[in-house]
Structure 1
Amino acid sequence: MSYNKLIQIDGKLVDPIRRNVITEVDKKSPADRAGITVGDRLVKINEVPVKDILDYRFLTAAERFTLTIQRSQGEETREYTVSIEKEMYEELGLNFASGIMDKASSCSNNCIFCFIDQLPPGMRETLYFKDDDSRLSFLQGNFVTLTNMTESDIRRIINYRISPINISVHTTNPELRVTMLNNRVAGNLYPRMQQLAAARIQMGAQIVLVPGYNDGAELERTLRDLAALHPYVTGVAIVPLGMTKYRQGLPNLIPFTAESSREVIHQLDELQQEFRLTTGSEFARCADEFYCMAGIDVPDEDFYDGYSQLEDGIGMIRLFRESIAATLEDLAPGSGSFSFVTGTSAHEEIRQAADQISQRNPRLAINTHRVLNDFFGHSITVAGLLTGRDVLNTLKQGTVHDHLIMPRNMFRSGEELMLDGVTIQDLERELDTKVLIVDYTGENLIEQMNQAMAP
């Protein structure tokens, strides 16, 4: 399934991905100086056909190379060669409609825990697309399973030094991985990771933990296998199975409870003592959600090794807490009113931060709103999966102050749009408030509040 849109160039509709059509040329860049223009098509670099972003990035890193450009003039199309001279690793300056210059590879698995399979009908079409593309892993940090990659694809990663890549491991037990991913070729993961490690390609690993499948002894086996590939496997993120209320026709899985969450944390505590000796760090860490469900406080700051796994929900609470403590003295002495909104799992943490801020500046009116996830089901407790409609329904039942503070992960990356299409403008209009989007750092929160209080 493709979500690529045709674009109009010189009065013609063209597929910008299939044709490598250039949609923008950075001003004063080497490409701009060479006379390349929007609408040109990049065909080859040093006589090598350009398949995708990997070819482009690798072949344009040099100081000197030639481009084969195709240009349409009326009904005629001609090719010409351009010689480029630039600084090593200087950006060439070409931009394309797709970040990978190709259609993203879709997932060939049917994982028993897949969150996309648990989406209700009627949402935006792009939400149902499952990507499994190593190029997106390199560019955006997406996780890939490696199941749809050929040996040629692996060799390209090695030859082009595409590193790091993030891998959805789940288990290194071949038979169990075939079962969990419902893919007969899923069991070849570990040999491929060994091949990448031998080539010194760095890998981040993620495990979606499913009770009764890859937990307990299977989790220990997987973590020991991955630790054996350190330092090329840089770390492991362990996240809990997410279950929405839309699981009709899907496998009957068991959600995590407070007790089973505590068991996972205690199991990791023992293994981490070993990993500190063999890898120099904890190596494998649980997402904050495990600690919230277990009722156990998150570890100290040193545990998170510079917060390198924040995108997996690991260390967000500790970072927020430490940032609040470090920047609270920067809070302005002005007045204002603020409402904080979050999901169930982080609500107590946000409430405590609001209390600290109020104590520092009593002239501020602050309240917090805990939003239950009616859309996906109450078992989904993280803020990043809340919908705009649930936020609106909850806040309309209480007092919303002049400024509504919302975490950035409630919105699509780079956009002002929530999962169900509700926009910031919708929220401001229906709640009669000003929305402030903040990072998960206390520093950004204090900064945004100060700006809102400024005369």
Structure 2
Amino acid sequence: MKPRPFTQVSGTSSPDSDSCRRFDVAVRVHGVVKGSFAWKEGIEEGDSVLEVNGIPVEDLLDLNYLTASPPSEIRIIKKDGKRKRVLYTGGGDPLGIIPEPVKVKRCKNRCIFCFVHQLPRGLRQSLYVKDEDYRLSFLSGNFVTLSDLTDEELGKIVRYRLSPLYVSVHTVDNDLRRKMLGNPAARDIRELLAVLTEAGIQVHTQVVLCPGINDGDKLDETVSYLWSLYPGVSSLAVVPVGLTAHRQKLPPLKPVTKQIAEEVVTFVEERARKFRKETGWDFVFASDEFYILSGKKIPSRKRYGDYPQIENGVGLLRQFLESWRKLERRKLERLDGISAVVPTGRLVYPYIREFLLFYGQKTGARISAVPVRNTLFGDSVTVTGLLPGRDVLKSVMGRREEHLLIPSVMLREVGDRFLDDLTPQDLERETGKKVVVFEPDPEKFHRAVSQHRVL
């Protein structure tokens, strides 16, 4: 879309007696786009935006919303203390102010299942940060409980149309929920969801299932209430509680067994069938882990729609199988002579092994999967994304393959660090193997292998 045209009027005032006072409500300018309105007006990194049209600016959401419909009078305080006002009236150039990153609102809950509380020492520091920030829910898809949401924040969500949001519900029994969150003052989740959905905010929800606590009748109650708010509440994912070996002094919790997984999948499938008959949409989903643990068939692609809960482990395996199917129909170049090893979590190892057998027959590449035991978190943690670099290193040392293929989900970002701060370069140095990072999708896997082959 073409930027709106604008004209510009600006003025700079001299510092007055309070020009250098502290402003608790302001957004610091992190950068300025060259050639933009802000750049032409002399706004610089280190300046601060105080107000737009007389309204205080607290974060990038305020700035974006308040300047979306010019004219906008923007009040700036320069880094030297001088005041400046500019009038952004729309035009061919963007505003061009890059605000500082959001200062994350920290979580005050003490959830009985909190994964952060189960982390050992010595991991990268970002893993120990618990966020409870509705802005990150909107901007990044982070799940939040809304337990400490203020009325002012609720009003901002509605006013700015921050949709969709991702909300950790766990149960709609408020007393039980407050116990699970370890927060006796947590807000009424039924009331919050009703206000949000009535205001037109779309909400995706999740339940972390803790056997014997929020399953059975409590799960039935939760599903029924959330369904009553459909389509405002658009989806519900049921995911298993994650338990590590580091739960000393934490509330005792039962793991999800094969039998429990079977019961959950059966329940979810029954409810989804009913909802699908009424609206054409499943609404409630069990995560992939439940299907793998139970041994039940993975749902078809069309049942996942546009995969609204993919980041929650709902539909990842179906996407993998669909990509594999596409690869089967393609004519692939021969890759004879390539030898590689793929470390993977024990949960999905059977699927990865089967895929690599197919891939070897199709291309001639000799690529093996190796299941990695998680000694950092314990044997109960079997997913690939929580494998530390040292366990990966241990699993491939002494093997003869020339390449080490690392699924990107093991890293903070592609090419970045493992949970324990090791890097792909560390593994390359220790093993003597060429390390290639790939996205865990068959077609992208093939692209990575064919592009990085060393014959």
Q: Does the alignment reach a TM-score above 0.5? A: yes
CA drift of 1:431 comes to 1.6
Q: Which one of the candidate residues 77, 95, 112 is aligned to 1:92?
A: 95
Residue 301 in 1 paired to residue 301 in 2?
Answer: yes
Aligned to 1:28: 35
Q: What CA distance in whole angstroms lies between the structure 1 residues aligned with 2:415 and 2:169?
A: 30
- Worse-superposed segment, 243-252 or 60-69: 60-69
Is residue 167–residue 206 contact of structure 2 (8 Å, CA) maintained in 1? yes
Give the match's secondary structure for 1:205: strand
Aligned to 1:135: 135
CA drift of 1:19 comes to 5.7
Aligned to 2:263: 263
The 5 Å alignment of 1:46-445 reads: 46-73=53-80, 77-86=81-90, 92-98=95-101, 100=102, 103-186=103-186, 188-328=188-328, 329=330, 331-335=332-336, 336-362=338-364, 364-399=365-400, 401-413=401-413, 416-445=416-445
Paired positions, count: 432
Q: What CA distance in whole angstroms lies between the structure 1 residues aligned with 2:324 and 2:58?
A: 47
Aligned to 1:43: 50
- For the structure 1 residues 447 and 285, does the alpha-carbon distance in structure 2 shift closer, same or farther, using more than 3 Å as the test? same
- Worse-superposed segment, 216-225 or 404-413: 404-413
Is residue 144–residue 167 contact of structure 1 (8 Å, CA) maintained in 2? yes
- For the structure 1 residues 273 and 368, does the alpha-carbon distance in structure 2 shift closer, same or farther, using more than 3 Å as the test? same
CA drift of 1:17 comes to 10
Is residue 169–residue 207 contact of structure 1 (8 Å, CA) maintained in 2? yes
Q: What CA distance in whole angstroms lies between the structure 2 residues aligned with 1:377 and 1:110?
A: 22
4+ residue runs over 4 A deviation: 15-19
Q: Deviations over 1:156-188 (max 9, x none)?
A: 111111111110100011111011111113350
- For the structure 1 residues 31 and 279, does the alpha-carbon distance in structure 2 shift closer, same or farther, using more than 3 Å as the test? farther
Please tell me whether Structure 1 or Structure 2 has the larger radius of gyration of its CA atoms: 2
Cα RMSD of the aligned pairs, angstroms, is 2.1
AA at the equivalent of 2:291: Y
Q: Deviations over 1:423-450 (max 9, x none)?
A: 1111111122222222232221111122
Give the match's secondary structure for 1:208: strand
CA drift of 1:72 comes to 3.0
Q: What CA distance in whole angstroms lies between the structure 2 residues aligned with 1:108 and 1:126?
A: 17
Long gaps (5+) in structure 1 = 1-14
Q: What CA distance in whole angstroms lies between the structure 1 residues aligned with 2:60 and 2:293?
A: 41
Is residue 237–residue 314 contact of structure 1 (8 Å, CA) maintained in 2? yes
Q: What CA distance in whole angstroms lies between the structure 1 residues aligned with 2:216 and 2:227?
A: 17
CA drift of 1:79 comes to 0.7
Give me the TM-score of the superposition, normalised by structure 2: 0.90
CA drift of 1:397 comes to 4.7
AA at the equivalent of 1:92: L
What percentage of aligned pairs have identical amino acids?
A: 37
Q: What CA distance in whole angstroms lies between the structure 1 residues aligned with 2:226 and 2:157?
A: 19
Is residue 227–residue 279 contact of structure 1 (8 Å, CA) maintained in 2? no
Q: What CA distance in whole angstroms lies between the structure 1 residues aligned with 2:411 and 2:232?
A: 32
Q: What CA distance in whole angstroms lies between the structure 2 residues aligned with 1:427 and 1:380?
A: 22
Is residue 438–residue 448 contact of structure 2 (8 Å, CA) maintained in 1? yes
Q: Deviations over 1:260-292 (max 9, x none)?
A: 101100011111111113443111111111111
- For the structure 1 residues 188 and 413, does the alpha-carbon distance in structure 2 shift closer, same or farther, using more than 3 Å as the test? farther
Q: What CA distance in whole angstroms lies between the structure 2 residues aligned with 1:294 and 1:169?
A: 24
Q: What CA distance in whole angstroms lies between the structure 2 residues aligned with 1:260 and 1:448?
A: 38
Give the match's secondary structure for 2:79: strand
AA at the equivalent of 1:428: E
CA drift of 1:341 comes to 1.6
